[in-house]
A and B are shown apart, each in its own frame.
Chain A
């Protein structure tokens, strides 16, 4: 007499994705915004003439014109079209965000995997792990903006050196994040089971540990693109990254130029347009990252699909307090929960 077997209906990832997005309207908006920004940037790269009417330095007859159909964001004192400059900066800024966060993810992620997985004291791996973490700790002591600014000064001015400078200051965040995640999963029963079954250590790392580290890292990466953008454009604003006006406009440098030339109080669109562009872009990635966290985290996913996470925190919630003992050794009493909790805004 066979007991009836209850088979739970398994949701495909897409349907879960859709339901979480619906349950959380803000993430949905973020998702839409990122999609629109991405497509727009692609159009600008492929054929700028489709949506950009004027060249970045092209002077039109309309000087200091208010926003109109012909000049959606107005023009400056030489008749340069603000809309064209703002749109032209989009692919550059998005590309910089991806490039820096991506390189930091690769460098920091690899080091974090090594530092977390091969950390048996007394072995070569253990020593490597300790050295990686000490160097990371020292890098994390610097506010990234300040170190990046100084590095830009040393490496030279311009887009390339600035990207390099920010990357040099950025990878340690990923070391700490990935190492923490590796430490959390490396002693879970399924890893021990794989080891007992005779799977080699390297294979355990790549097939079993890495997979479970990926999800929080992707969430962090999404949120991070916005942060990178802000840092880059701040360096642009301070005036050591990009030249504006120039052939490759950038939002921070643009805003700085119009604020310093002093006409921004009379012609507010000059600073509002590039400012709104960066604000919208960063907000889009923040909302999307917040939503991704809910989608990828199985605990909130369950709660969200049921409708609300109101008074039902997960029983095995990774409370910041619970990981504190681990994190304290990194001279940081609270483990990173999300990007907003780990650092400050430059």
Chain B
């Protein structure tokens, strides 16, 4: 059984190597998918463009597929991800939008951990009884709420009722301090600007709560299932027998082992949470990559951005793959039964 530091390097290295074919596959598949239909595409993608734009577009997509792919692939590696109809480069725009989305996803994950996991413990503790049913209603409600419904209800009814802001990152468009990380709360806190920190947190609450509520079931269900597996084990019984309070038995002894699976699943989830940001960021005017995706895809009648849309698909897939990798490595670290060699 190898679990020394050098084994860990092998463990992580192997997984990093496995990443390469998947990433290549993601890029190839995205390229194929985006070139499934070639005729008339330019007119549809650039509905209001002039004859020269259409001619340029058709020249670009008229070349042999292999040539196009090579051009696209080298462009991707070199940071040239194409441009929108109006000439805005895709890569810088997306790079600028990424931090806000990361902040939103991290905030949602935080809420899922501090609310979802205790709910799972409660459901396991009262399995088959009222507490279990109530928790199940709660997370299934979240599960049955489409993101757009949750976002619209929060923005139209809940926000005004609670006096919470429903648009943007700050109340003023440009805050009076340097934005190092471009994550609203962290930047304001770094600048030691208390009013702006509070303001940034206020703006973050609603979108993060909606994203977390909708995905709460993942944390809760997983915790409940693994708690139910752990609870009848001997070590839990012996903890009870030596007179430990029920709280300590549950949250210190049982949960510790149950959390391994939950942590892994949450890791996988982090990549998928991104998909939820497309609608949430649009509704809450959150300046992240989800909103970029919404516009690039031509949501709500905006002019679609072909290169941007392809880049968005690739970026989201990469996020999922990386999240899976992190989850995989976390699982190896947390579960002492996993051999690293």
Interface: B184 (CB within 8 A):
no
Interface: A60 (CB within 8 A):
no
Binding site secondary structure of chain B: helix
Interface: B221 (CB within 8 A):
yes
CB distance B300 to A239 under 8 Å? yes
CB distance A310 to B265 under 8 Å? no
Complex formed: what's the CA distance from A278 to B145 in Å? Answer: 8
CB-contact partner of A334 in B145, B148, B265, B297, under 8 A: B265
CB-contact partner of B297 in A150, A286, A313, A321, under 8 A: A150
The minimal Cβ–Cβ distance linking A329 to chain B, given in whole angstroms, is: 10
| Given contacts A146-B275, A234-B279, A337-B225, A141 and B317 within 8 Å (CB-CB) | yes
Interface: B287 (CB within 8 A):
no
Bitwise, A223-260 to B at CB < 8 A (1) or not (0) is 00010001001100111100000000000100110011
Counting contact residues on chain A (CB < 8 A from B), the size range is 35 or more
Complex formed: what's the CA distance from A154 to B297 in Å? Answer: 10
Complex formed: what's the CA distance from A290 to B157 in Å? Answer: 31
CB distance B232 to A333 under 8 Å? no
CB distance A321 to B26 under 8 Å? no
Complex formed: what's the CA distance from A149 to B310 in Å? Answer: 11
Interface: A92 (CB within 8 A):
no
CB distance B33 to A341 under 8 Å? no
CB distance B152 to A275 under 8 Å? yes
Residues of B within 8 Å of A279, CB to CB, are 141, 144-146, 149
| Given contacts A150-B297, A240-B298, A333-B331, A278 and B149 within 8 Å (CB-CB) | yes
CB distance A239 to B328 under 8 Å? no
Interface: B107 (CB within 8 A):
no
The minimal Cβ–Cβ distance linking A338 to chain B, given in whole angstroms, is: 7
| Given contacts A154-B37, A287-B140, A328-B328, A309 and B146 within 8 Å (CB-CB) | no
| Given contacts A233-B146, A252-B148, A149 and B18 within 8 Å (CB-CB) | no
Bitwise, A253-292 to B at CB < 8 A (1) or not (0) is 0011001100011001001000100111011001100100
Interface: B101 (CB within 8 A):
no
CB distance B152 to A238 under 8 Å? no
- Chain A residue at minimal CB-CB distance from B44: A156
CB-contact partner of A286 in B144, B229, B276, under 8 A: B144
Complex formed: what's the CA distance from A313 to B230 in Å? Answer: 9
- Chain B residue at minimal CB-CB distance from A231: B146
Residues of B within 8 Å of A58, CB to CB, are none
Complex formed: what's the CA distance from A234 to B218 in Å? Answer: 20
| Given contacts A25-B133, A264-B152, A278-B146, A143 and B320 within 8 Å (CB-CB) | yes
| Given contacts A26-B133, A155-B36, A334-B265, A341 and B218 within 8 Å (CB-CB) | yes
Complex formed: what's the CA distance from A340 to B30 in Å? Answer: 26
Identify which of A134, A268, A311, A338 gathers the most chain B CB atoms within 10 Å of its CB: A311
Complex formed: what's the CA distance from A268 to B217 in Å? Answer: 28
CB-contact partner of B221 in A146, A237, A338, under 8 A: A338
Interface: A11 (CB within 8 A):
no
Residues of B within 8 Å of A149, CB to CB, are 278, 293, 297, 309
Bitwise, B288-305 to A at CB < 8 A (1) or not (0) is 000001100111110010
Provide a sorted-by-A list of 13 A–B residue pairs whose CB atoms are within 8 angstroms: A141-B321, A142-B320, A143-B272, A146-B275, A154-B36, A265-B157, A279-B149, A312-B232, A321-B335, A331-B324, A333-B331, A340-B139, A340-B143
Question: What 6 pairs across the A-B complex have the smallest Cβ distances?
Answer: A344-B272, A143-B275, A283-B144, A138-B25, A308-B128, A282-B144
Task: Point out residues on A near B: beta carbons under 8 Å.
Answer: 25-26, 134-135, 137-139, 141-147, 149-151, 153-156, 168, 226, 230, 233-234, 237-240, 252, 255-256, 259-260, 264-265, 268, 271, 275, 278-280, 282-283, 286-287, 290, 307-313, 317, 319-321, 324, 328, 331-334, 337-338, 340-341, 343-346
Apart from A149-B278, A319-B226, A331-B325, list 18 A-B contacts with CB within 8 A.
A138-B26, A141-B26, A141-B320, A142-B317, A150-B310, A156-B37, A238-B279, A252-B148, A278-B146, A279-B141, A286-B144, A321-B335, A324-B331, A333-B331, A334-B268, A340-B143, A340-B218, A344-B272
